Structures are given as structure tokens and as C-alpha cells.
Amino acid sequence: MDIPSGDTTLAADLVTPSTPSGAGLLFVHGYGSSRRRQTLRAREVSQRLCHTGLAVDLSGHGDSPGDLRERTRQDHLRDVVAAYDALASTEDVERIGVCAASYGAYLACLLLGERPVQRLLLRAPALYIDADGPDPEARQHLRGLIDTNAALANLATFDGDTLVLESEHDEVIPRRSIDAYLHAARHGTHRVLAGAKHALIDDASDAAFLTEIVDWFADL
């Protein structure tokens, strides 16, 4: 499907089960990635749980137009909001969970300030310091960071359940980012994908991630 978002149109895949559960699951990929693998996961979740799934290419990614170098975080937040609204308008979708990775996980927490989300899975969440955030010394203190970072501030007021999923051998996301998200989450759960790297390049890690998704959103 095509999803209008500001001055562009996003490419997306909507997966609808034969007997909808009433739940919708929005998949948000990381920076420089695409919806391709997210669509495969959406299909599996649809088959196993009967949830409606939506995987979208953010602007400048995959099949969505735009120069990635010119796209801002605000542009991509607009994309995620547009994707959420498209999923929410789908027949039989009454509640929505979000499964997001890396940069997408950061955007998912920004989404919390824009739309209602029932449950959240953040895999290897990236953390970006806002331009008007604390000085370098203050950043060492998680409480001060949560108070000034929009994504963490949203997560701190989110009343749903949050799974922070860490890749054991992540070469991109430092442990302090994982700690920041866990410290912020009101109802947070921490799990580790054993042996996994950031991009989940091996089949075993990818299968383990799918298992986590199915388990976490089973009763969405």
C-alpha cells in the first residue's frame, strides 16, 4: 500500500489475517534499512497470532522516495505517525503495538507522544541527544537525561509494557543506551538475544527475534 506523509508517499506492506484478532502491529526499521525483513516478520505474526501487521519504508529508505541525507528526525517521526494512522484506520484494528529496532525504536518512543500505543518492543534501541539537551556532564546521569530527552521522557510516562531487547554482541549500540531506556521505562522488561549482533545477520538470531515478537505480542 501507499501511505501519504507530508510531501512524499511511503511504500508499505499491510498483512491482514483471515480471522483478525483486533490487534495491529506496526513494524519500524532502523536507519539505512528497509521494510523487507519486517514484512516477513509481519506475515509470521499474522499467521501465528492473527494480528494485522504493517511494515513501512521511512522516507529515503527502501522503496520510499527522498534523499536520506536531507531527511530529518522530524520527517521520519511524521512518517511513523502516518503509518500508525494508516494501520489504525484498517478494518478490525482496535489496538496497536509497535515493534521497532535501532533508530526506529527511538522514533517509536517519540510516537508515544503523538498516538496511543498499547505495547512496545524496542530492539537494540538507539539513543540520540536532543540539540537542547543537557551538557556532557549532565548526560552521565540518567535521571537528567530522561528529563530532557523527548524519547525517554515519553517512555517514562508510557503506561504500557515495554520490552527492551538487547543484542548480546551489539557493535553499534552501547550498553549505556540500553540502560537509559530501561531506566526510563515504567513497566520495562529486559531480555538479551544470545549471540546476536546489531543487524541480526544470522538465521538463528533472526529466528530468536521472531520468537520474542510472538511471545511479547501474543496477548496484545
Q: What pLDDT, on the 0 to 100 scale, is given for residue 146?
A: 66
Q: What pLDDT, on the 0 to 100 scale, is given for residue 91?
A: 93
Question: Sorting pLDDT into bands at 50, 70 and 90, what band is 147?
Answer: low
Give me the CATH number covering residue 57: 3.40.50.1820
How does the average pLDDT of the chain come out, rounded?
92
Question: Sorting pLDDT into bands at 50, 70 and 90, what band is 128?
Answer: confident
Give CA–CA dist 182/199, Å, rounded: 21
In a domain, 191, yes or no: yes
In a domain, 72, yes or no: yes
How many of the other CB atoms lie within 10 Å of CB of 15?
20
Digit-coded pLDDT (tens) for 28-70: 999 999 999 999 999 999 999 999 999 999 999 999 999 998 9
In a domain, 138, yes or no: no
Find the mean pLDDT for residues 114-142: 73
In a domain, 178, yes or no: yes
Q: For cell 520495562, what's the residue?
A: 188
Domain that holds residue 42: 2-129+155-216
Structural domains counted in the chain: 1
In a domain, 148, yes or no: no
Digit-coded pLDDT (tens) for 160-203: 999 999 999 999 999 989 999 999 999 999 999 999 999 998 99
For residue 217, the number of C-alpha atoms closer than 13 Å in the C-beta half-sphere is 36
In a domain, 96, yes or no: yes
In a domain, 177, yes or no: yes
The model's pTM: 0.93
Phi-psi region of 217 (alpha: psi -120 to 50; beta: other; left: phi over 0): alpha
In a domain, 107, yes or no: yes
CA dihedral 171, 173, 179, 180 (to 10 degrees): 170
Give CA–CA dist 149/110, Å, rounded: 10
